Structure 1
Amino acid sequence: MKAIKRTFLMASLSLTLLVSSCKKDEDPVATAPVEETKLTLTQGQGAPLSEHSALTIGVGSSTSLTVNVPENEYTATVSPSSSAQAVTVTKQGNQLLIKVLQQPTEPTSVVITYKKQTFTLGIAVPQVAPLVQGLYNAQGERVSEIKYVARKANGLWLAQNVQKLSTDYLKVTANEPLATLTDGKKVQVTAKGIDPTKLQGDFTVKVFPNRYQLSNTHYTIVVNKP
């Protein structure tokens, strides 16, 4: 009887060791890492856009981008928030519609965020030169006529009329004769009585066949050539 018990115990021990050995020899099942979707944007059928690139969109126009992530799992905002009335973003699933309603008053971007990824696109809004001499705001609206122009080789004095020359005027000063100005050069503007805070400092020159356009982020001055 003792021999039978001993045989049974030995068999059980052998079976336990065999099962344990088999378990140790089995390879663990590897779990493949799940790759997070990379945030990319495409315009039309083109190649993916580069981050920090700029989209050129005219006032009144729009463009549609494809956001290559699961639908509705991203956010899109206009930066700075003060430009949200000038530039709007609308999500339509994976399609993001960007529309320019008016000229922004400061550099503007659209920021797309997906999980911890962020994609920033600059919005470049070309300024269309007004045809009529005058002072225009950033939205392209004429805020003042310019009917009086006094000219010197390197400067201009501008006013709505001669009666207002002593109280409300713009002074434009260049470091060279106005006749030699080319696109991209700077002139200095000072103002009296007409928003002197924003109508001062460097203005960028754009030269047209019959006029000059002088702009900063707040105003554009259009002056006819003599």
Structure 2
Amino acid sequence: MHVSVSKLCLAVLATAGALSAAKKEKVWHAHSERHYSKSFRLMVNVLAPVQDFPTPINHQYLSAVSVSPNTALVGMTNDTSNIIIFYSNGTVPERETEISHILTDNAFSPDSTGLNRGAPRNATGLKLSPDGDSETLQTVHIVDGPGDAGLFVTMNTEDFLHLEPNTWLACKNDSLAHLSEDLVILRHMTKVEEDEDDKGAADKNKDTTDETPPTGCIPIVLTPECTVSPRSKKKEEKKNKKNKKMGIWGESGDY
């Protein structure tokens, strides 16, 4: 599969501040410094740290939890060997018209924990799968192909960069406790579209963050951090090895 990857201006770090329980006001603290990268990882920012799980997930990163040869759930981890590397596939107009995708090519790579199983493959994407008969909840999967359109990292004119569309949830998953007792997976909550005739003016711009997450779930924001993909690392190592053999020294001097 040939995939064109656009270059993004990504925040090195953006963290969520406390969420007022009374007013539910979000307070964001984002670094002003930003860097360019074709690949990135997504950091979990718990909106209200007091709601975090007994085993905290705040500032962990998205990972893959394989449930079949071609499908994985999206989990959260501090294990660097398990962190998913993402790419944005879409031009600015494609993001604006909600036809862009978020891709990854390392979600099915094997690792020592056994949580990521399967053979390396072509790019895979994020897919939001409806939870039963729910109109608002979806579970996030990684599947073969580009996944769902309409996923994107906000542009660099924002105060902080984050994955849209909100709202993202971190949820305990007891059905997979045999893999990990502390397993938390990524879900998505969307608003229910109502007929304009049934909707008051005050409700027309209602944000999904005002909805109550289901039991066992907490609202999070996903912020990007620049990183180097495993594929790029291998290409760079191969290039450096060739240059060293030819007596060509790079700028870093790390040969």
TM-score range (shorter-chain normalised) is under 0.3
- TM-score, length-scaled by structure 1: 0.25
TM-score by length of 2: 0.23
Instruction: With a CA cutoff of 8 Å and minimum separation of 6, indicate the structure with the bigger relative contact order.
Output: 2
Higher normalized strand content (fraction of residues): 1
